[in-house]
Amino acid sequence: MARSQPYQPLLLRILHGVVALVALGAVITSYWVYDLFDGRWLKLSLPNVNGMIGIHGTFGLTLLLIMPLFAVYAFYIGHKRLVQPDSFTKSLQFNKPISAYSFHRIVNTLMLIAVTWALITGRLMQEKWLPSGDLDIIWYSLHLSSWVLLLLCLLAHIVMGLKVGGQRLMLSMVALKVRPDDTPSMWWQKFKAWQNQRGQK
Amino acid sequence: MNKNNMPLAIAEILVLGGIVLAFIVPLVIKTG
C-alpha cells in the first residue's frame, strides 16, 4: 500500500516558508559581510558588493517583523511540534523511534531560540563598526556566535526532519496543495474552534 | 503560556520575550 503524503496546515507552510527564506538570506548575507570585513577564521574572498551590510540589515529587519507571527503560531497552534515535558528523557532512548521524534521537537524549539538570539544581537550592531575595523566589540562577537548557533541548529533541523519524516516531510512543507477545509476563508472559523477548545481545558 | 509543559513555557518566554527585547533593545542600550 502506498504511504499517504503528510499534510501541513497552509498557515504553517506560509509562515515557515517566509521565515526560512528570509533567515536563509540573512545567514548568506551575514557570511558575505563577515568575508568582506572580517575573515579571521575563514575567508572565501567573495566579490565586494556595495551595501552588503545594508542588504543583510534588511533581511534581519524583515525577519524581526515576521518572526512574532511565526513564534505565536508555533507556541500556540503548533506547540505539538515543539519540546514536550518528556522530550529530554525520551530523546535519550536511542533504541526506540521516539528518540528521533523527541530530539526533532527539541531541535525545532532550539531553532526558534537561535533565530531570536540572532535578532537581539543583530539589533545591537552598528553599521559603522565593520568598515572601520572594530572587530573586537562584544556585540559583534555575540552576533557572530548567533550565526554559528543558527547554522548548527539549521543543520540539525534538516537532518532530524529527514530522519523522522524523510523526503515526504520535507516536500510536505513546500507542497502547494490546500485542503478545502484549510483555505484562508476557513482560518477564522478554525481559530474560534481552537479558542473554544482551549477555553474548555 | 503552556503551564503543563515547563520546557515549552521556558522556550516561550525566551522567544517571545526575546522578540520584544529585539524591538526595544536599541532604545535601551546605546552601543554606538
Q: How confident is the model at residue A1 (pLDDT cuts 50, 70, 90)?
A: very low
Instruction: Identify the pLDDT of residue A188.
Output: 86
Q: Least CB-CB distance to B29: which of A67, A87, A124?
A: A124
Least Cα distance to A176 among A6, A10, A3, A5 occurs for A10
| Segment among A27-31, A144-148, A166-170, A186-190 with least mean pLDDT | A186-190
Span B12-24, average pLDDT: 96
Q: Least CB-CB distance to B22: which of A79, A120, A139?
A: A120
Supply A113's cell numbers.
Answer: 531560540
Supply A186's cell numbers.
Answer: 476557513
- The Cα–Cα gap between A128 and A125 comes to 9
Asked if the model's pLDDT at residue B27 lies above 90, the reply is: no
| A3 C-beta neighbours (distance < 10 Å), count | 7
Q: Least CB-CB distance to A126: which of B7, B21, B31?
A: B31
Asked if the model's pLDDT at residue A110 lies above 50, the reply is: yes
Q: Is A68 on the interface with B (CB under 8 A)?
A: yes
| C-alpha to C-alpha distances, A109 to A21, A23, A137, B11, nearest whole angstrom | 18, 16, 29, 7
Supply A157's cell numbers.
Answer: 533541523
Instruction: Identify the pLDDT of residue A43.
Output: 93
**Would you state the torsion angle of the CA atoms of residues A167, A170, A172, A174, taken in this order, to the nearest 10 degrees?**
-130
Least Cα distance to A163 among A105, A109, A112, A110 occurs for A105
Residue A18 CA from chain centroid, whole number: 10
Phi, psi (degrees; rounded to nearest 5) at A78? -100, 25
| Complex-level ipTM | 0.90
Q: How confident is the model at residue B1 (pLDDT cuts 50, 70, 90)?
A: low
Span A159-179, average pLDDT: 93
Q: How confident is the model at residue B30 (pLDDT cuts 50, 70, 90)?
A: confident
- Give, as one character, the DSSP assignment of residue A81: G
Q: How confident is the model at residue B31 (pLDDT cuts 50, 70, 90)?
A: low
- The Cα–Cα gap between A75 and A54 comes to 31
Sort out which chain B residues have CB atoms less than 8 A from A19's CB and list them: none
Give which of B15, B20, B21, B28 to mutate to test A binding, by max A Cβ within 10 Å.
B15
Give which of B2, B14, B19, B24 to mutate to test A binding, by max A Cβ within 10 Å.
B19
Span A179-192, average pLDDT: 87
pLDDT in tens, A62-104: 999 999 999 999 999 999 999 999 999 999 998 888 999 999 9
pLDDT in tens, A127-146: 999 999 999 999 999 999 99
pLDDT in tens, A2-57: 567 789 999 999 999 999 999 999 999 999 999 999 999 999 999 999 999 999 99
